[in-house]
Amino acid sequence: MVPLSSYLILSAVLFTIGVLGVLVRRNILIIFMSIELMLNAVNLALVAFSREFGSMDGQVFVFLVMTVAAAEAAVGLAIIICLYRNRKSVNVDDLNLMKW
Amino acid sequence: METDENMEFVVFAIMALVSTVCAILVISHRNPVSSALFLIATMVSLAILFLTLNAPFLAVIQIIVYAGAIMVLFLFVIMLLNLRKDEFGPERKKAQRFFAILFGFLFLILLATAINVGLSTFGHPEAPATKLIPAGVEPLAELLFTKYLFPFELASVLLLVAIVGAIVMAKRKL
């Protein structure tokens, strides 16, 4: 059996790549994809814990996380369409109206 | 049994490599369509890892909902916006990128340390993984409709609100 720690390390690596995507890129679509990547990393950790502890609760959490991710994607993409219609840009640096 | 364990190691190693490389390509590729396709590859390799983790239902859901529905929505929006190369705008400066990667590595070390400490403190549950979780839909469905009934209903309300909100925001004139 592959130990729990290797799944957790893989999950941490994927999460970090997602964080880096949010920090490094300026295209709002790719920032949004990085957020999906982070959610996926957390799902992997939850499923690995679920097997390690022999309980199904972790899998229920993953199911709910996927539902929330679907809702988040629908609303977020609607916001991006709205934004592009008003600003003609997908670059986050152009959206500085609320910047301090 | 011996070959089975070796197989699991091989599958884990290949899928870990594929998912990490594709994830790096997601955040480094210039074209958003390619990024979306690499993200689909990451999700499919994670679905295969779910299969080895004894969660076949979640593996199928991962492919149908994530790689299917959500990523198609992404591609649909990318094509709807129909961006040209010059509309992407400038990327971050070299120095900013350097510091982002530096702090990303520090963050990864922090996470790895937390995992190490956590596993050595709480790692071995009283009943170790001798009791295998049953594969299949029934045990998940039973939990979902008994212990987690309220979150399940809340999720359905959330989906309804998300549908209404998305239409209200994206439609030009209601």
Tell whether A87 is within 8 A of chain B (Cβ). no
pLDDT number for residue B131: 62
Chain A residue numbers with beta carbons less than 8 Å from the beta carbon of B119 are: 4-5, 8
pLDDT number for residue B3: 72
Q: pLDDT higher for B101 or A89?
A: B101
**Domain membership flag for residue B111:** no
Nearest by Cα to A3 from B12, B112, B170, B48: B12
Is A54 in contact with B132 (CB distance < 8 Å)? yes
Number of domains forming the structure of chain B: 2
The CA distances from residue A38 to A34, B7, B134, in Å, are 6, 27, 27
**Domain membership flag for residue B100:** no
Tell whether A54 is within 8 A of chain B (Cβ). yes
Looking at chain B, how many residues does it have? Answer: 174
Share of chain A above pLDDT 90, in %: 59
The pTM is what? 0.91
Tell whether A31 is within 8 A of chain B (Cβ). no
pLDDT in tens, B111-165: 999 998 988 887 665 555 556 777 778 888 888 999 999 999 999 999 999 999 9
pLDDT number for residue A36: 94
**Domain membership flag for residue B121:** no
The CA distances from residue A54 to A77, B118, B130, in Å, are 37, 18, 8
Chain B residue numbers with beta carbons less than 8 Å from the beta carbon of A23 are: 100, 103-104
Asked if the model's pLDDT at residue A21 lies above 70, the reply is yes
**Domain membership flag for residue B101:** no
ipTM over cut 0.85: yes
pLDDT number for residue B21: 96
Within 8 A by CB and 6+ apart from A3, the residues are: none
Q: Please give the span between the terminal C-alpha atoms of chain A, in angstroms, as a whole number.
A: 51
- Alpha-carbon dihedral sign for residues A40, A41, A47, A50: negative
pLDDT number for residue A41: 96
pLDDT number for residue B24: 95
**Domain membership flag for residue B4:** yes
What distance in Å separates residue B146's CA from the closest CA in chain A? 12
**Domain membership flag for residue B113:** no
What distance in Å separates residue A95's CA from the closest CA in chain B? 13
pLDDT number for residue A30: 92
pLDDT number for residue A74: 92
Q: Please give the span between the terminal C-alpha atoms of chain B, in angstroms, as a whole number.
A: 62
pLDDT in tens, A38-87: 999 999 999 999 988 888 889 999 999 999 999 999 999 999 998 888 88
Q: pLDDT higher for B46 or B5?
A: B46
pLDDT number for residue A98: 76
Domain extent, residue B141, equals: 136-174
A62 to chain B: closest CA residue: B58
Domains of chain A, each with CATH number or no CATH: 4-88 (1.10.287.3510)
pLDDT number for residue B86: 66
**Domain membership flag for residue B3:** yes
Is A16 in contact with B107 (CB distance < 8 Å)? yes
pLDDT number for residue A61: 94
Is B11 in contact with B52 (CB distance < 8 Å)? yes
pLDDT number for residue B89: 66
Asked if the model's pLDDT at residue B171 lies above 90, the reply is no
pLDDT in tens, B39-94: 999 999 999 999 999 899 999 999 999 999 999 999 999 998 887 766 666 777 78
Distance CA B59, CA B54 (A): 9
pLDDT number for residue A37: 95
Residue B26 DSSP one-character state: H
Within 8 A by CB and 6+ apart from A81, the residues are: B77, B80, B81, B169, B170
Mean per-residue pLDDT, B2-26 = 90
Collapsed DSSP state (helix, strand, coil) of residue B49: helix
Chain B residue numbers with beta carbons less than 8 Å from the beta carbon of A38 are: none
pLDDT number for residue B26: 94
> For chain B, what is the HEC assignment?
CHHHHHHHHHHHHHHHHHHHHHHHHHHHCCCHHHHHHHHHHHHHHHHHHHHHCCCHHHHHHHHHHHHHHHHHHHHHHHHHHCCCHHHCCCCCCHHHHHHHHHHHHHHHHHHHHHHHHHHHHHCCCCCCCCCCCCCCCHHHHHHHHCCCHHHHHHHHHHHHHHHHHHHHHHCCCC
